[in-house]
Amino acid sequence: MVMESSPTSITSLILRNLITSIFIYTDKSLCFLAEKSKFLEALRCILLSSFLFFLRILPYFFPSLNPKEEDKYHPYLPLKPKKGGDNYVPATVGGGGGGGPVGGTGDSGLARALSQVLLLVNDIPVSSRKYDVVRSLAEKIIEENLLGGNDVLREVNCSVLSAAFARTLSQLEAASRGCGKSEFLNEACEADHSYWMSRLMRAVRYCSDTVRLRGKSRDELSLSGCSAEKLAAELLWLAQKMTACGCAEEAVNKWASASNLAWLSLTIEPRLQGSIVKISAFLIKQAKEMRKETDVEETKKEQDRQTKVKLLLLWIPLLCRASTGIDSPVLSLSERAELERVLEDIIEALQEEEDQEKVLSLWLHHFTYCPSSDWPNLHGCFTRWCTASRRHLLLSKSNYILKKTSLY
């Protein structure tokens, strides 16, 4: 659906973005000073609350910002027929962040049913007796869609699971902001500044989530249906289901783009770090299996190469820092050895010497400066890269000398 833009709507959007940018600069300045003064901390909270209240009442003054009635959809209510006809409005996968149209199969009742069940899995606390019932129902629908071997039913699984994975990933990122240590929040303001300025409205969501999560105690967060550990476990489960349905590439691509979560994961509590390490280990293994066919187009090969580089650069720091766990290692000895081999295979298959250098340089830095862990040990891969780089340098130098002498 293409919405027409009016001068009023454009003006309101410009006004909102302008005020948002001013607020971000103000909050950035107060972020560093708030720790030193209770007065500044109180002032920052007042400004934050006032700004969020302003954003809430803004649509009342500019009705063009309100969604049209036919665009609204709630997953628990029946769909309304369009005016002047008996057709029904296509469903969308609801949920905060990452939801959207399911795709070509999204207008089927089966896709809508699976979407609703997966949404309930996110919302229901693990302590509820209904949680296992709803999750079993989701698994049953997914498995029965796979049993027939029909491409249409498999596409239903892939499209709905992909949307659910994106939504859960967004929720995990928001929940992780409340699980870090306060001294890292000031660093967040500086390190993430350019990202906020490029995506102003995501900064508003960041502030809203931070206020909501800070207002809860640790016990309330653990009992909440959106607790970070619960979301991480569900994200791993969704990745496993996507792999079974043949769409693991979608999960790998989304995980390789989760730069905010990768940065936050370095400062969150160890138990949650361990859960995210397990997701990273699983998806790194799946990345190795992406497009092994020899007849793949060069553009797709290049996309795969970029995805693998991004995946390693994002998650190797966490692997180096968070593999020890609390009471026991996050991964067993066999799982660690297997993942080391997978990492070496991916790095050596990159072919581009610069890509290998970026990954191995990052690994060496975090491996060296993390005293509590000696994994993953990529020493052999690093040595082989040095040998190959030395050979390449000597060969290039020899070719240069031969070319220069041939001119004379």
Q: What does the pLDDT look like over 274-311, one tens digit per residue?
A: 999 999 999 999 999 886 655 667 788 888 899 999 99
Q: Tell me the domain boundaries of the chain.
A: 1-69, 73-78+90-206+218-245, 269-290+303-383
Show pLDDT as tens, one digit a residue, over the chain (408 residues): 444 445 555 565 566 566 666 666 666 666 666 666 777 777 777 777 776 677 667 666 655 555 444 344 333 333 333 444 443 333 343 333 344 444 445 567 889 999 999 999 999 988 888 999 999 999 999 999 998 788 899 999 999 999 999 999 999 999 888 665 433 334 334 334 443 344 444 444 445 555 444 444 444 444 343 489 999 999 999 999 999 999 999 999 999 999 999 999 988 888 899 999 999 999 999 999 886 655 667 788 888 899 999 999 999 999 998 766 666 678 888 999 999 999 999 999 987 888 999 999 999 999 988 877 788 999 999 999 999 888 888 887 777 666 767 765
Looking at residue 128, what DSSP letter applies? S
Query: What percent of the chain stands above pLDDT 90?
Result: 38
Report the distance separating Cα 287 and Cα 251, nearest Å: 10
How confident is the model at residue 108, as a pLDDT? 79
| Phi, psi angles (nearest 5°) of residue 400 | -65, -40
How confident is the model at residue 256, as a pLDDT? 95
Report the distance separating Cα 7 and Cα 12, nearest Å: 9
How confident is the model at residue 36, as a pLDDT? 67
Measure Cα distances from 149 to 142, 167, 214, 255, 335 in Å: 12, 27, 47, 28, 31
For 257-316, the DSSP string reads T-HHHHHHTTTB-HHHHHHHHHHHHHHHHHHHTTT--TT--HHHHHHHHHHHHHHHHHHH
| Phi, psi angles (nearest 5°) of residue 318 | -70, -40
CB 26 within 8 A of CB 47: yes
Residues linked to residue 180 through DSSP beta bridges, in sequence order: 268
